[in-house]
A and B are shown apart, each in its own frame.
Chain A
Amino acid sequence: MLRLTRRTNPSRSLEILAPLVAVALTLVVAAILFVALGKNPADAFAAMFWRPVQDLYGWSELGVKVAPLILCAVGLAIGFRASVWNIGAEGQIVVGAIAASWVALATGEGGFGLPGWLLPLLAGALGGMVWGAIPALLRTKANANEILVSLMLVYVGGFLLQYVVRGPMRDPMSFGFPQSPMFPDPARLPILLDTTRLHLGFALALLAALVAWLFVARSYQGFVFRLSGEAPAAAAYAGFSRAKVIWGSFLISGGLAGLAGAAEVLGPIGQLQPAVSPGYGFAAIIVAFLGRLHPIGIIAAALLMGLFYLGGEIAQMELQLPIAITGVFQGLLLFFLLGADTFVRWRLVLGGTR
């Protein structure tokens, strides 16, 4: 008989190795999958993961994908370390995008000596915070499970988006297409590299990762968050309020997700459309855990996840595979990561009943 027994002392190096093992296993299964689909796996991998990053433009496109993933994942990781489970970053992206679009259309020509994109960007962060505040409020006041509330608000946010692009924010000149007018130029995010789409959001993402690292590793509040997650009774004993940690986690992660949504519409998209995110908010959960909830790890994990997105698009165009291949890769990766983590903490033992 097989059974799992807890390891007395899980190895720190195994814990860091686990994501790499998960990535390797994902690629192995993907190769089998390609063979089953009648494709040469070497060609498929080359098309998906090698050719996209052969030139500067490819790398810049990767940067465009990575920016929202990093922004969401570093915020989520701060909450996850405190055992506050915000699963609704996708909804906070969408509401952030709506808020940013609204402000961009209202004030996008700029003024007060400020760049036109600044207020929309801040409005996006605020929108994400408001959407994140709902689960925080219900958790702290009514003890409602924040996982369920934040997840279900994703769908509420999605319907809100469908409503505004068809109703109040629809471009009257759009011939009935559900989309807002294009934003005025000053409201668009500055481009970091000429002739590419790499926008300010990427720089903000790296900055967010740096600040998050400082928060986690060096700040007193970061210590309070970690304590609240790992030893709640010790946090209560020391007098740290759990409610503040829940609110802080949701405002930080919601704000960063809202910022990511704002950067998507103010950057590459340029208007509000019925789809602003191909699941970045959910993928960011995988990114956060793949990166071991550490800001540096998250950047690396986001690059990999970004490559899945990019490669999925290529696979669709060049290999005639459905875009769902991106989702398959994400699912495999999450599966193997959870599996690998299990074996870091538990050991498989053969035989014996007790």
Chain B
Amino acid sequence: MPPLLELVGITKRYPGIVANQDVSLAVQPGEIQALLGENGAGKSTLMKIVYGLARPDEGEIRWQGELVVENSPVLARKRGIGMVFQHFTLFETLTVAENIALGLEPGNAGSDLEGRIRELSRHYGLAVAPQAPVWSLSVGERQRVEIVRCLLQSPRLLIMDEPTSVLTPQEADGLFATLRRLAAEGCAVLYISHKLEEIQALCHAATVLRAGKVVARCDPTRETARSLAALMIGKAPPEIEHRPAESDGPVVLSVADLSLPSVDPHGTALKRVSFSLRAGEILGVAGVAGNGQRELLRALSGEDARAPAGAITLAGQPAGNLDPKRRRALGLAFVPEERLGRGAAPKLSLTLNALLTGKRQSLTRAGLIRQGAVERRATEIVRRFDVRTPGIQAEAGSLSGGNLQKFIVGRELYDGPKLLIAAHPTWGVDVGAATLIREEMLALRDRGGSVLLFSEELDELFLLSDRIAVMFHGMLSPPAPVRQLTPESVGLLMGGAGFEGGVGLAQAH
């Protein structure tokens, strides 16, 4: 029997890069196959080609042994291919059932759509309420709506693009159960991820992509996370030793009862956030994306300076209403979520980007930039943090994500801050750069500095943090020492358990 889907020698070029080069793979019915690779390895491009959103420059797609001549999302759905995207495509103001009806072919919606939705969600353990408006749903619930929408068309192949990046560990387990059930009924699943443990737990086979090319095919259950990582990045990842500390140093940052409505109408308001951070410790903040992390970060950095002065105390000074420059003068450094456009100006040279958050007194004279001093600063950052760049005159936008992140972290650590706030510092960064950034944060802590680390990756938080707190619906759980926590207990908090009665209940937890 021919494979359900077969890709032969697929090549796709975009201006400036080759996204896929001579990629071949085959998927059998009932198989859960992982497509594994780092950010930018070409996984998403390949799936867009399968789903008809992009056209390959070379190569063939075969569906059940037959050559696919014409392809488009409509044709792909007709063949039986469903895809759940990383970014959802639901209308906030409509109900679940209305959203699902919109995604179906005209005339296919049928009269008893709600009944079919209920039946499917019962059969696969996908709890969704057809009458609920989408804006009221959590991210995990929205993903279930997307999956139900695909399942209504009885797919033969389901493509899942990084589905667990928005889920708590418990929600991820629920998803895996659904996918296993689908596979047992003969549906094939192409599962895109860079998370090694879940691929080992879920997938029967894995195709590993690196820089657009297939570098390995393997059975993930017979590999270790380390060997999979080595396949993915081409060398064994260096290891970091977990060494939590308990600090009794002075409090560097304290937040007291901070409540703040969101500037963005679709944002999350902060509700009575309180915590304190001592010198010589790393406090990790876990949470599913969109639970107020972004808003809390802006209130802490000073980009949002609407908080009452006393709600945030930085190095002993009331700082809630200070602008970012004043907070920096008190010893704050900040690595923001977005590297390009916020952490660095893409069209400016590394030299000028080194000036961005530098101390003005030492880098200017009589209002003019001291070229020599700024260049020395940039050169030093590039050297100390091993930033791979043709030179300090290169535009920041020309650097790879990992190298630019090393530059930004280096710049923020350059002036010896008391406190570093880092938002997802290793997101989308290659493993080598991630290790260097993590080591630097530990080194800052060991020197007596403080780090407030926001991350969606529990592994990272458990590896680096001394205490961990969880954000949920704009609230923050009281930080607990990492030895008292497990990924499961943090996962429960990420899902909102213990938050129902507000922070008060969570404190009793």
Residues of B within 8 A of A223 (CB): 352, 355, 369
Residues 313-346 of chain B: 1 if any A CB is under 8 Å from the residue's CB, otherwise 0? 0000000000111111000001010100111111
Whether, in the assembled complex, B390 has its beta carbon less than 8 Å from a beta carbon of chain A, the answer is no
Whether, in the assembled complex, B143 has its beta carbon less than 8 Å from a beta carbon of chain A, the answer is no
Contact indicator A231/B348 (Cβ below 8 Å): yes
Q: Which residue on B lies nearest to A214, using beta carbons?
A: B368
Contact indicator B301/A237 (Cβ below 8 Å): yes
Contact indicator A231/B347 (Cβ below 8 Å): yes
Whether, in the assembled complex, B303 has its beta carbon less than 8 Å from a beta carbon of chain A, the answer is yes
- Whether A238 contacts B357 in the complex (CB less than 8 A), given A220-B368, A230-B347, A231-B341, comes out as yes
Whether, in the assembled complex, B364 has its beta carbon less than 8 Å from a beta carbon of chain A, the answer is yes
Give min CB distance, B384 to chain A, whole Å: 21
Residues of B within 8 A of A220 (CB): 355, 360, 363-364, 367-369
Residues of A within 8 A of B342 (CB): 231, 233-234, 236-237
Whether, in the assembled complex, B15 has its beta carbon less than 8 Å from a beta carbon of chain A, the answer is yes
Contact indicator B303/A236 (Cβ below 8 Å): yes
Q: Which residue on B lies nearest to A352, using beta carbons?
A: B55
Whether, in the assembled complex, A227 has its beta carbon less than 8 Å from a beta carbon of chain B, the answer is yes
Residues of A within 8 A of B364 (CB): 220
Partner among A7, A8, A238, A241 whose Cβ is within 8 Å of the Cβ of B356 = A238
Residues of B within 8 A of A237 (CB): 301, 303, 324, 334, 336, 342-343, 356-357
Whether, in the assembled complex, B106 has its beta carbon less than 8 Å from a beta carbon of chain A, the answer is no
Whether, in the assembled complex, B372 has its beta carbon less than 8 Å from a beta carbon of chain A, the answer is no
Whether, in the assembled complex, A141 has its beta carbon less than 8 Å from a beta carbon of chain B, the answer is no
Residues of B within 8 A of A9 (CB): 16
Whether, in the assembled complex, B302 has its beta carbon less than 8 Å from a beta carbon of chain A, the answer is yes
Contact indicator B341/A233 (Cβ below 8 Å): yes
Give min CB distance, A245 to chain B, whole Å: 14
Partner among A221, A233, A238, A241 whose Cβ is within 8 Å of the Cβ of B367 = A221
State A7–B341 Cα separation when bound (angstroms).
20
Cross-chain pair count, CB within 8 angstroms: 75
Give min CB distance, B11 to chain A, whole Å: 16
Residues of A within 8 A of B324 (CB): 236-239
Q: Which residue on A lies nearest to B327, using beta carbons?
A: A239
Residues of A within 8 A of B355 (CB): 220, 223
State A238–B332 Cα separation when bound (angstroms).
12
Contact indicator A218/B341 (Cβ below 8 Å): no
Most buried by B among A5, A218, A220, A240: A220
Whether, in the assembled complex, A145 has its beta carbon less than 8 Å from a beta carbon of chain B, the answer is no
Residues of A within 8 A of B303 (CB): 236-237
Residues of B within 8 A of A231 (CB): 341-342, 344-348
Within 8 A of B (CB), among A207-238: 214, 218-221, 223, 226-227, 230-231, 233-234, 236-238
Interface residues in A, total, Cβ within 8 A: 24
Give min CB distance, A203 to chain B, whole Å: 24
- Whether A239 contacts B348 in the complex (CB less than 8 A), given A233-B338, A233-B341, A234-B342, comes out as no
Q: Which residue on A lies nearest to B353, using beta carbons?
A: A234
State A237–B341 Cα separation when bound (angstroms).
10
Contact indicator B345/A227 (Cβ below 8 Å): yes
Residues of B within 8 A of A5 (CB): 15
Residues of B within 8 A of A233 (CB): 338, 341-342
Interface of B is mostly: loop
State A111–B54 Cα separation when bound (angstroms).
77
Within 8 A of B (CB), among A5-39: 5-9
Interface residues in B, total, Cβ within 8 A: 35
- Whether A219 contacts B367 in the complex (CB less than 8 A), given A227-B356, A234-B356, comes out as yes
State A79–B276 Cα separation when bound (angstroms).
43
Give min CB distance, B304 to chain A, whole Å: 10
Partner among A218, A219, A239 whose Cβ is within 8 Å of the Cβ of B328 = A239
Give min CB distance, A82 to chain B, whole Å: 13
Give min CB distance, A83 to chain B, whole Å: 13
Residues of B within 8 A of A354 (CB): 54-55
State A236–B305 Cα separation when bound (angstroms).
11
State A234–B323 Cα separation when bound (angstroms).
14
Within 8 A of A (CB), among B352-395: 352, 355-357, 360, 363-364, 367-369, 371
State A236–B336 Cα separation when bound (angstroms).
11
Contact indicator A219/B346 (Cβ below 8 Å): no
Give min CB distance, A222 to chain B, whole Å: 8
Give min CB distance, A221 to chain B, whole Å: 7
Q: Which residue on A lies nearest to B342, using beta carbons?
A: A233
Residues of A within 8 A of B356 (CB): 227, 234, 237-238
State A227–B324 Cα separation when bound (angstroms).
16
State A237–B343 Cα separation when bound (angstroms).
7
State A218–B348 Cα separation when bound (angstroms).
14
Q: Which residue on B lies nearest to A217, using beta carbons?
A: B369
Contact indicator A234/B343 (Cβ below 8 Å): yes
State A6–B14 Cα separation when bound (angstroms).
11
State A274–B55 Cα separation when bound (angstroms).
64
Residues of B within 8 A of A236 (CB): 303, 324, 342
Contact indicator B345/A219 (Cβ below 8 Å): no
Residues of B within 8 A of A221 (CB): 367
Q: Which residue on A lies nearest to B302, using beta carbons?
A: A239
Give min CB distance, A235 to chain B, whole Å: 8
State A81–B328 Cα separation when bound (angstroms).
27
Residues of A within 8 A of B15 (CB): 5-8
State A226–B345 Cα separation when bound (angstroms).
10
Partner among B54, B323, B368, B369 whose Cβ is within 8 Å of the Cβ of A239 = B323
Give min CB distance, A344 to chain B, whole Å: 15
Contact indicator B334/A219 (Cβ below 8 Å): no
Residues of A within 8 A of B347 (CB): 230-231
State A219–B369 Cα separation when bound (angstroms).
5
Residues of A within 8 A of B328 (CB): 239
- Whether A218 contacts B369 in the complex (CB less than 8 A), given A227-B345, A227-B356, comes out as yes
Residues of A within 8 A of B54 (CB): 354
State A239–B322 Cα separation when bound (angstroms).
10
State A218–B346 Cα separation when bound (angstroms).
20
State A256–B187 Cα separation when bound (angstroms).
71
State A9–B326 Cα separation when bound (angstroms).
38
Residues 276-302 of chain B: 1 if any A CB is under 8 Å from the residue's CB, otherwise 0? 000000000000000000000000011
Residues of A within 8 A of B352 (CB): 223, 227
Q: Could you list 29 A-B pairs, sorted by A, with CB under 8 Å?
A: A5-B15, A8-B16, A219-B367, A220-B369, A221-B367, A223-B355, A223-B369, A226-B348, A227-B345, A227-B356, A231-B342, A231-B348, A233-B338, A234-B341, A234-B343, A234-B344, A236-B303, A236-B342, A237-B301, A237-B324, A237-B334, A238-B324, A238-B356, A238-B357, A239-B325, A239-B328, A241-B323, A354-B54, A354-B55
Given contacts A230-B345, A234-B343, A238-B357, 8 further A-B contacts (CB under 8 A): A214-B368, A220-B368, A223-B355, A230-B347, A231-B344, A238-B325, A240-B325, A354-B54
Q: Which 10 A-B pairs have the closest CB atoms?
A: A239-B324, A239-B325, A231-B345, A233-B342, A8-B16, A8-B15, A234-B345, A220-B364, A218-B368, A239-B323
List chain B positions with a Cβ less than 8 A from chain A: 15-16, 54-55, 301-303, 323-328, 334, 336, 338, 341-348, 352, 355-357, 360, 363-364, 367-369, 371
